[in-house]
Amino acid sequence: MAIPAADINKWQYQQKLMTPDEAVKMVESNTRVRYSEFVMFPDLLDEALAKRVDELENVDISGTCFSKVPKVVLADPSREHFYLTDCHFGVVARKLHDQNLCNYVPLTYHEAPRWARKYWDVDAALLLVGPMDSKGYFNLGVSNSVTPAVISKAKKIIVEVNNTIPTCLGGNQESIHISQVDAIVEGNNNPLQQIPTPPPTETDIKIAEWIMKEIVDGACIQLGIGGLPNVVGSMLAESDLKDLGVHTEMLVDSYVDLYLSGRANGSKKSIDRHKMVYTFAMGTNKLYEFMDNNPACAIYPVNYTNDPKVIALNDNFIAINNAIEIDLYGQVCSESSGTRQISGTGGQLDFIYGAFHSHGGKGMICMSSTFTEKDGTMQSRIRPMLSPGATVTVPRSITSYVITEYGLVNLKGKSTWQRTDDLISIAHPQFRDELIKEADKMKIWKKSNKIAP
């Protein structure tokens, strides 16, 4: 008589179950270790690995947007044993980078699974997962962007089980089977980290009002995190727009309100109709509870969600992204302040490029016209040239729509002087004369009547 598969899975589970300290003995010196992504942080495995600091050398530990300070860093502040890298900086990696404790891995996000498979040797994957189901699968939870590629390359796979993780339906490659797992650790079952949305500013509201004028019935929406995307989501939920779709990199709280309002039913999408497509999620319990076993949500690896060719398949695609600064040539910096790494390229380039190729699509770079230094000095985000050391996130040839609280312009198909004229027109009035003077020196400005005093 054949043994039921469920019994085989339970037997395997018990055979592979061990303590965190036992599990991380699989990690050796001179190897690459990969943690799971974003809020799916493997607490107990990280803590156990940190205990082995004096036993190990040259261990490269990488992740995508660390949501917590890894214990391996605290155990080795001189970086003599562990070397930390991050594929997309958030608050944690930014602060560690300032202390020379973390380095960035440059990437175009939709390419990440491909280059992981082509160029990375992953010796051990330490993954936070949901509980095993009756078929022997552990759900990867709310982050699925590069993890499937890591699983395909990892020589050893250690999972830390957390019973509070929402089950996120595919899409595809959203789970890992017990037969692929080398070790199982039962975690502390702490709830996922909550990332509250900051309240919008008056400037955010003004920018959102410009954005709303460009959205039509049936549009497919990509929002990021922060005050501006949140207020756009709120405005959409309260608007008369209908049949909106969702295809995004990051699922955030504002999408819950948009869906529950009935505005986002996905009925006009060309692909993944009626599905809110995403590759990772960060938010509050409102979002995590909404996602749990919800067929309206579909999680995919990032080489699907962020592929510009896939993005372009949905008509009227609206991509809304933030930036740090833009120069008069149209070069956008969204990831560094000079040489200081602030964020990563993420999906901004993917979505701006993909939205342009969508029929009726619009890729939007949004920013306040100014920012204030610590000493109280106001600076323009629209600059003659990018700050020294600033990283170009979107090249001038790709940039199209740019929005500040002073208006919206489209740079596509325009000469250097035309785009200069447009950008100065949406700069803060206090800086327009200075920008004109610098543009004239650079021979990229022609006098027009467009720019108001």
Active site residues: 249
Do 12 and 89 touch, CB atoms closer than 8 A?
Answer: no
Do 69 and 43 touch, CB atoms closer than 8 A?
Answer: no
Do 439 and 325 touch, CB atoms closer than 8 A?
Answer: no
Cross-strand partners of 39: none
CA 355, CA 362: separation in Å to the nearest integer?
5
> Which amino acid makes up residue 155?
K
| E-state strands within 20-123 | 32-35, 59-63, 82-86, 103-104
Phi then psi dihedrals of residue 359, to 5 deg: -65, 115
Strand order in the sheet with 362-366: 297-299, 276-278, 245-247, 220-222, 317-322, 362-366, 401-404, 407-410
226 sits in the region (left: phi over 0; alpha: psi -120 to 50; else beta) called left
3-class secondary-structure state, position 355: helix
303 sits in the region (left: phi over 0; alpha: psi -120 to 50; else beta) called alpha
Helix (H) or strand (E) holding 319: strand 317-322
* Cis ω before 136 (30° cut-off from 0): no
Cα 97–Cα 99–Cα 101 angle in degrees, nearest 5 = 60
> Of the candidates 349, 400, 324, 355, which has an alpha carbon nearest to the alpha carbon of residue 106?
349
Cα 376–Cα 382–Cα 383 angle in degrees, nearest 5 = 90
Residues belonging to the chain: 453
